Amino acid sequence: MKAHIKICGFTTVDGVRAAIDAGVDSVGLVLDPSPRQLTLDAAIDLAAHIPEHVQTIAVCGRPTPDHVQEIWTRMQPDWIQLMADALPDPSLGFPIIPAFEDGDDLVHRVKSYVDASDQAQPLVLADGPKPGSGIVADWGRVEAICSTTRLMIAGGLNAHNVGEAIARLRPWGVDVSSGVEQAPGIKSPEKIRDFVAAVRHAERLLEKEQ
Q: For the segment 128-138, what is each residue's pLDDT rounded down to a tens digit?
A: 877 766 778 88
How many secondary structure helices (H) and strands (E) does the chain include? 7, 10
Cα separation, 117 vs 113, in Å, equals: 6
The pLDDT value given to residue 33? 87
Mean pLDDT of 61-70: 86
- Is the per-residue pLDDT at 166 higher than 70? yes
Model confidence band, residue 9 (pLDDT cutoffs 50, 70, 90):
very high
Model confidence band, residue 199 (pLDDT cutoffs 50, 70, 90):
very high
- Is the per-residue pLDDT at 174 higher than 90? yes
Tens of pLDDT, residue by residue over 83-112, are 888 776 665 677 889 999 988 899 999 998
The pLDDT value given to residue 157? 95
Dihedral angle, C-alpha 54, 207, 180, 149, nearest 10 °: 70
Tens of pLDDT, residue by residue over 105-126, are 999 999 988 888 877 788 999 9
| CATH code for the structural domain at 4-209 | 3.20.20.70
Model confidence band, residue 180 (pLDDT cutoffs 50, 70, 90):
very high
Pair 70, 41: CB distance under 8 Å: no
Put simply, whether the predicted model's pTM sits higher than 0.85 gets the answer yes
